[in-house]
A and B are shown apart, each in its own frame.
Chain A
Amino acid sequence: AQSVTQLDSQVPVFEEAPVELRCNYSSSVSVYLFWYVQYPNQGLQLLLKYLSGSTLVKGINGFEAEFNKSQTSFHLRKPSVHISDTAEYFCAVTPLGGSSASKIIFGSGTRLSIRP
C-alpha cells in the first residue's frame, strides 16, 4: 500500500520569497508522483507529474519538483512566489503498473498563503 505525507498543513511566505512544500511518500513498489493545485473555490488542477526520466520536473506557473527515490520525497519548489500562488497544494502518488483508480492516494494538502 502507498501513503503520502505532506509535512506542513500551512506555509506562510512573503511575496517574491522562495518556497518549498514538502511531500514524502511510502511505497513497497515504484511510483508515479503528482502535484495538484486548488485555487479558492475551485477544483484541483495538475501542476506537474513525474512518471520517469529526469528527476527534476518542471510544471506550470514556474513550479518545479524533484523526485528523490532514496529519501522517498517529491518536494515542490518555486524560487519567487506571487500573490496569485495563494492556494492549497496536494501531493499524490500511484504505483507503477497499477490500473486502479483506488490506488491514487492524495496527501492532506498544504495551504500556501502569500503575504505582500
Chain B
Amino acid sequence: DAEITQSPRHKITETGRQVTLACHQTWNHNNMFWYRQDLGHGLRLIHYSYGVQDTNKGEVSDGYSVSRSNTEDLPLTLESAASSQTSVYFCASSEGTVNTGELFFGEGSRLTVL
C-alpha cells in the first residue's frame, strides 16, 4: 500500500543544532507539505511544494527550509534549532487540485529543543 513516512518519530536536540526531519511518500503525489502542530494553534503551514524543484513558504517558515529533488521526498531542515521550535511536525501530500484534494498525513515527528 502507498504511504507517507516520517523519521525520526522522536528527536531531542540542543539549541543551535541543525536538525533534519525526513518525509517520504510512495503515493507519487506532486504536492507535499510540512505543518507544525501546537496546542491551541491547530496545524500551521511551514513550507510546501507543488513538484520537483518547487518550494514555497507557508505561514510560519522562519527558521525552516525545504528542498525537493525528487517526487518522493521533502526533508525539513531547522538550520539552528530554537526552543520555540519544540513541536510536533507533520508531513502531508496530495494529488490534483490542492484545495479540493484530500491531504494524506504522516504519523508525525515530535521534536524537543532543549
A residues neighboring B (CB under 8 Å): 4, 6, 9, 32, 36, 41-46, 49, 51, 90, 94-104, 106-109
Contacts and interface: CB of A to CB of B under 8 A. Distances in A.
Contacts of B43: 44, 90, 106
A26 to B, nearest CB: 15
A52 B100 CA distance: 11
A101 B56 contact: yes
Contacts, number: 71
Most buried by A among B35, B56, B103, B107: B103
B64 to A, nearest CB: 14
Contacts of A99: 97-99
Contacts of B105: 43-45
Contacts of A104: 45, 98-99, 103
Contacts of A49: 100, 102
Contacts of A109: 42
Given A32-B100, A94-B99, A100-B98, A43 B108 contact: yes
Contact of B48 (A51, A90, A102): A102
Nearest to A104: B99
Interface string B47-58: 010100000101
A107 B44 CA distance: 10
Contacts of A36: 103
A14 B4 CA distance: 34
A45 B104 CA distance: 7
15 contacts: A41-B108, A42-B107, A43-B90, A43-B92, A49-B102, A99-B97, A99-B98, A101-B58, A104-B98, A104-B103, A106-B35, A106-B42, A108-B40, A108-B41, A108-B42
B40 A101 contact: no
Contacts of B100: 32, 49, 51, 94
A16 B50 CA distance: 43
